[in-house]
Structure 1
Amino acid sequence: MLTQNATINRRSLGIVKSISKLGIDVPQQVRAEVQIYEDAERAHDAAQSDYDAAASGLRTAEADEFDTARDGFIQAASDLLTFVQGAGTALIDAAVHRLNAAIYDASPAWESAIVDQFNAVVAQHELNEVAGNLPDLGDPRLINVLSFTRAQGDAVDRWKTASGQLRPLWEAYKRIATHHGHEIGPVNSNNVATNMFTACILGHPGTRRTLEAAAGRLSAMGSVPRPDSVQRYAEISPFVVPVLHGYELNLSALADAAAIRRRVQGL
């Protein structure tokens, strides 16, 4: 694409798309800015298409139509050059800036809606209530589901079903967090701060020791390759991390999670 903002804009459009898929309201202002960007992008694509067609016309025009084809090509080349040399870049950059500003304004309401939906799914499936019945999936002796008790099997089923519903909410949450400059785990052990923050997003660890243990598990989840003991939790990760360390799964807004981390760490 013409601009370095292309990657940023794909992320921005991804936020809007993920929010829309969740059934969360996308304000008219955001939809209007998406349209402005798409129109700007189409203008460049149209200029390129016109140039290609005019260039082809030079090769196929009849002799008595060549002058007209030449004039059309010169105009198409001039229009495309205008885009390439700055006008198109400025237009798209402006559209990206406008869209990102609109998303920034809308994101607090989106974040709140995601948190509410996420925690409603947790409550609906009683994930915290049945967490104590989850078997130790890190124990290779328990890989065979036939060894589960009825309570253990029910807990695993609830967590797997709920995780399928939580995943798109979590992905949308992470997109918003990235838009605001946050990195969300699991990530590898080189980024302890991110894993600690993520542990607090997923719930309230209560103590520094619990926070460090949860962050350590997130670090293992973010490593490549993952240890087998961690990989066996993949289908319900990272949501299962809090309950594996004795605190409830309860998604918090970014600002609230930052406050939780400060309190737990005594900062």
Structure 2
Amino acid sequence: MNSPKKYHPRRPLGWKYDLPRPNETPTLRIDTDALKLSPNHVNLVYLELPRSTLRMRGIGVIGGSFMLLYLTATLLFIAYILLIDTFEPGFALIFIGGGAILYWPIIPTIRMDIQLPRDEPIRFNRLRRKVYFYQYHFDRLHLFSRQRWGIRPVVYDWDDLIAEACSVYAPMGNGGLIENVVISVIKPGTEEVIDRLFFTHDIELGKQYWALAQLFMQQGPQALPEFVHPPRDWNDDSQLSPIHCIAPKVQWPTAIDIESRTAPAADDSR
């Protein structure tokens, strides 16, 4: 039964309900037929689930580039009229400066579509009881910053995670419902959220993936069902669409890559 929907300082925008806590027994029946993307990897030590912040690749590059060209052409045309026909250089500069603000939401959309990795996997290491997020960071206020954009993996304790189902309506012409599941990291012993990470675009998929993670972390790989679809190698261009091949490959930092795939007493082994 879903929790009553009332305000809580921990909960994100559009919160609907919490999924079962990490160490609660999962009751959801996993439908492997519906899992079009099976786990990337499963063994005795870790489970790796695929993830993508963007629902569809290519829209940002194609649509954003078209909007940039259209906006630039429009600004130059109006500035030309102001300069030539009315000879108002001051108005032309003000208009171009004001119009340049419109570039602000477009450029980061294009940059994300180009630079976001082809997969942003999450590794659940049951022997360490830690979860490793291949996390892509971005900052829309600093459009061209190198420090504020890029991959910086983060690691959290499994017991400190809470998966939350969210649903909000977004202005999409005639309206649109956006549903997703996010993972909140809670400071132990409190309700303070120290980080919040995207999990899935679809609530049902999020529930399925979260149940897989629970089963694996609690019982091991033998508790997982047999998957219908084979895992995808996101670094193998032959398995991806051309637009995905443009995106950067997944390259974990060496130290965290080894740690996330090994037991506590096997840090130096592969």
Q: Same fold (TM over 0.5)?
A: no
| TM-score scaled by length of structure 1 | 0.25
| TM-score scaled by length of structure 2 | 0.25
* Bigger fraction of residues in strand: 2
Which protein, 1 or 2, shows the higher relative CO under an 8 Å CA cutoff with sep ≥ 6?
Answer: 2
Q: Quick check: which has more Rg, 1 or 2?
A: 1
